[in-house]
């Protein structure tokens, strides 16, 4: 077993190249994140995921597959899972007039959320995908375009219960989960893909509202992804590069012991630390030293993939120079995200009663 494989990388196309195999075989690589460009149909996806596992069977095959507009695979039988806001709206619908029953919407919504998690997880697993970066725990403040209908609700209590229900469905499919974007991306308007968002609220305000689902879900969450957002009243660095956020607050105060993923290091919100532009290697080392177990670099394998190779080489050098040390605990957290059960083949899944019922429950 490798000592610590913190890198989650992407691959360029619908099948592995020699360069992909070389990068995936590297002992610092711990997983792969797939995108829509890696998809043609289910047969091709299963061939790709099988080829990845043939390189190393411990590689974690990941995808951003939340439902709504963030769903990488949309054709050849994949269910169009609704955006999470649809579950929040169902929660609020107790019926009309004499047929209204207080609380009935909440109960239907939690059941539908479990169904959504099961459908999402079981379909992905049938195609060889191990893990999806879901659910979004950000609050729907109505201001953030990048979050928007990806959020369940404005109320953190509703978010926590719907997320827990969705994670129950993922668990039924044999899939771990990832709460994001800690401590909350929903309040700021700026998109951290293209800007560096700044949330000027106090720590007390953030913990009481946006971050509230995290301690409530501390026994259910298997991983967390912090936001590329700066909260200057807490730390000058974005949360994913902040020991204060990751070690003091998330680990010690909220007692979270699962895996922590950085968000994509190529996003604009991760390209500057302390006012200075940083390399991918410097960003990766900073994230790992702050408390991340795993770091993502996305969309850099397209073309010659030089940035990916530079990150692998750079992290090797950083380790040799003592700038970063592998963590046995981090590696254990990565391995814990791998499924422990065999997936159900797609053709069998289509006729499974639990799956068919789950489809009927989706809003």
* Residues designated as active site: 193, 263
Taking the C-alpha atoms of residue 229 and residue 210, their distance in angstroms, rounded to an integer, is 13
Residue 297's CB is within 10 A of a number of other CB atoms, namely 25
Most distant CA atoms of the chain, gap in Å: 71
Q: Is 334 helix (H, G, I), strand (E, B) or coil?
A: helix
Q: How far apart (Å, rounded) are the C-alpha atoms in residues 294 and 315? A: 12
- As separate numbers, helices (DSSP H) first and strands (DSSP E) second, the chain gives 13, 12
Number of neighbours of residue 122 by Cβ within 10 angstroms: 24
Q: How far is CA 252 from CA 19, 61, 100, 150, 348, in A?
A: 40, 29, 44, 28, 44
Backbone angles phi, psi at 60, to 5 degrees: -90, 115
Residue 269 to residue 245: CA distance in whole angstroms: 16
Radius of gyration for the chain, computed over Cα atoms and rounded to the nearest angstrom: 20
């Amino acid at each position: 077993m490798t000592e610590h494989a913190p890198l989650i990388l992407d691959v360029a196309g619908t099948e592995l190249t020699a360069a992909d195999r070389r990068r995936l075989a590297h002992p610092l690589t711990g997983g792969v994140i797939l995108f829509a460009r890696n998809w043609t149909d289910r047969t091709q996806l299963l061939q790709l995921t099988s080829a990845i596992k043939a390189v190393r069977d411990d590689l974690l095959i990941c995808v951003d597959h939340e439902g709504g507009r963030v769903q990488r695979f949309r054709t050849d039988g994949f269910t169009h899972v609704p955006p999470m806001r649809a579950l929040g709206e169902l929660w609020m619908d107790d019926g009309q007039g004499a047929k209204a029953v207080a609380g009935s919407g909440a109960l239907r919504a939690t059941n539908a959320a479990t169904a959504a998690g099961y459908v999402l997880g079981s379909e992905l697993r049938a195609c060889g995908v191990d893990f999806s970066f879901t659910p979004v725990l950000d609050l729907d403040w109505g201001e953030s375009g990048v979050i928007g209908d990806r959020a369940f609700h404005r109320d953190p209590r509703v978010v926590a219960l719907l997320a827990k229900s969705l994670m129950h469905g993922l668990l039924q499919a044999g899939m771990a989960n990832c709460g994001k974007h800690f401590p909350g991306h929903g309040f700021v308007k700026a998109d951290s893909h293209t800007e560096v968002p700044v949330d000027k609220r106090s720590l007390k305000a953030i913990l009481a509202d946006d971050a509230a689902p995290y301690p409530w879900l501390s026994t259910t969450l298997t991983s967390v992804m912090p936001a590329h957002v700066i909260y200057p009243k807490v730390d000058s660095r974005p949360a994913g590069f902040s020991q204060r956020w990751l070690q003091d607050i998330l680990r010690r105060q909220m007692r979270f012991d699962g895996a922590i993923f950085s968000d994509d290091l190529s996003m604009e919100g991760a390209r500057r630390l302390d006012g200075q532009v940083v390399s991918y290697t410097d960003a990766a080392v900073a994230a790992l030293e702050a408390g991340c177990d795993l770091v993502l670099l996305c969309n850099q394998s397209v073309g010659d993939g030089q940035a990916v190779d530079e990150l692998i080489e750079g992290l090797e050098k950083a380790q040799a120079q003592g700038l970063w040390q592998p963590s046995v605990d981090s590696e254990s957290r990565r391995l814990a995200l791998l499924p422990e059960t065999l997936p159900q083949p797609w053709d069998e899944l289509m006729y499974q009663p639990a799956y068919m019922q789950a489809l009927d429950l989706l809003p």
